[in-house]
Amino acid sequence: MTATWDVPLTEIHMSDEDVAAVMDVYASGWLTMGPRTKEFETALAAFSGVSRAVAVSSGTAALHLACRAAGVGPGDEVIVPALTFLATAHAPRYCGATVVLADATSEHDPNVSVADVERRITPRTRAVIAVDLFGTSADTAALRLLCDRHGLVLIEDMAQAIGARRRDGAPAGSAADLACLSFFSKKQLPLGEGGAVLTGSDERAATVASLRSHAMTSGTWDRHRGHSESYDVVDIGHNYRLDEPRAALGLSRLRHLGDDLAARRHAVARYRARLAGVDGIALVGDDVDVACSSHFAFPVRTDTADLRIALRSELPVRGIQTTRYPVLSALAEYAEHADGSHPSATTFADRHVCLPLWGGIGDDAVDRVCDAVAAVCGA
């Protein structure tokens, strides 16, 4: 199934129960958003330690609707990390806002610098989007205080961080006004495509739920049940609905997500023990981060860009897939932001490699990757 790699970047194991849960939906004859989506939302909120979850069609849709519920619009600025997946920065721009990129904390800590976010606040700033990169929570306790002081909305991009905790033990997402999950195939809860907005505010949850389905005052499921015979439209909404087969898959997989995250943590601990002494490599974060992260990916820092290039070309030759995140200003669409003011994000981007990681990766595969890394580093 997974192409030609001996050790792919990630792999999905679909249990018989997962498949049966999806097939049940197809047999039921009700496919679009309905009771299973509602049940999935309730389970997601409970899992995440946040009162409300609204399921949507992708993490990008979640970010877009979070920006809309935050009131982001033309003339506003939204501060976004320079080091993230591009969808974080696209979302405010869908609303007509301008993005301002903030640097990473340091060249060894890829999450956004709170001090740099603060420096970039202007009278036009409306919101800050924090990103929990690789599954490790950003400093949302400090960002919450900062946003409160300046009257800003805090959005948390948790696309890589379902089930993560902050270093102080609080659930990721709990300090944000709106937090966004992704269920894209490579994420920890893979549904193919899908996402959700988490919030402690019933009002914001209602706004997101409305905008996800054209801002219509009743849904297809309501009308099917005869609860409402007509509808009105009260805003320019979207079709960002999740469908029932994916909600059912999400419900089924959510039951095993805790085990999957624990298995990822075990693999990361083994990686770190094996790679600790390797010349030219530095581990990212500390033992507290390992305990709190939900381990979307396993990045290692290389001392030089040359070593990153060597690993990225030599590991594939040995059947091992890797990836890396570019700084946004290195992408054509964001080239105007390449003003030299993101040195930490740029250095981290140039000097890291993400190694294979998934819940079912065995010790043998981890050891094989570590041996290959050590061989390239010793060459």
347 in contact with ligand PLP (CB under 6 A):
no
Q: Which of 110, 163, 190, 195 binds ligand PLP (CB under 6 A)?
A: 195
Secondary structure (3-state) at 353 = strand
- b/e per residue, 110-145, with b = 16+ CB within 10 A? bbbbbebbbebbeeebbbbbbbbbbbbbbbbbebbe
For the bound state, the minimum distance from the C-beta of residue 84 to ligand PLP, rounded and expressed in Å, comes to 5
58 in contact with ligand PLP (CB under 6 A):
yes
For the bound state, the minimum distance from the C-beta of residue 151 to ligand PLP, rounded and expressed in Å, comes to 25
Pair 215, 76: CB distance under 8 Å: no
For the bound state, the minimum distance from the C-beta of residue 54 to ligand PLP, rounded and expressed in Å, comes to 14
Q: Which stretch binds ligand PLP (CB under 6 A): 41-49, 58-66, 70-78, 245-253?
A: 58-66
For the bound state, the minimum distance from the C-beta of residue 75 to ligand PLP, rounded and expressed in Å, comes to 24
For the bound state, the minimum distance from the C-beta of residue 197 to ligand PLP, rounded and expressed in Å, comes to 12
110 in contact with ligand PLP (CB under 6 A):
no
- Which residues lie closer than 8 Å to 335 by C-beta, 6 or more apart? 329
CA-to-CA distance for 346 and 340, rounded, in angstroms? 9
137 in contact with ligand PLP (CB under 6 A):
no
For residue 241, give Cα distances in angstroms to 196, 226, 283: 10, 21, 39
Nearer to ligand PLP, 346 or 376 (CB): 346
60 in contact with ligand PLP (CB under 6 A):
yes
Q: Which of 18, 41, 56, 59 binds ligand PLP (CB under 6 A)?
A: 59
Secondary structure (3-state) at 76 = coil
For the bound state, the minimum distance from the C-beta of residue 258 to ligand PLP, rounded and expressed in Å, comes to 21
105 in contact with ligand PLP (CB under 6 A):
no
Q: Which of 157, 260, 289, 350 binds ligand PLP (CB under 6 A)?
A: 157
281 in contact with ligand PLP (CB under 6 A):
no
Nearer to ligand PLP, 86 or 216 (CB): 86
Query: Total residues contacting ligand PLP (rule CB under 6 A)?
Result: 14
* Category of 167 on φ-ψ map: left (φ > 0), alpha (ψ -120 to 50) or beta: alpha
Nearest residue to ligand PLP on Cβ basis: 59
CA distance between the termini of the chain: 33
Q: How many whole angstroms from its chain centre is CA 156?
A: 9
Residue whose token pair is 């079709």:
239
| Alpha helix (H) residue ranges in the chain | 16-28, 35-48, 59-69, 87-94, 114-119, 140-150, 202-212, 220-224, 244-275, 287-292, 305-317, 343-350, 363-378
For the bound state, the minimum distance from the C-beta of residue 60 to ligand PLP, rounded and expressed in Å, comes to 3
For the bound state, the minimum distance from the C-beta of residue 43 to ligand PLP, rounded and expressed in Å, comes to 19
85 in contact with ligand PLP (CB under 6 A):
yes
The binding site for ligand PLP (CB under 6 A) comprises 58-60, 84-85, 87-88, 131, 157, 159-160, 182, 184, 195
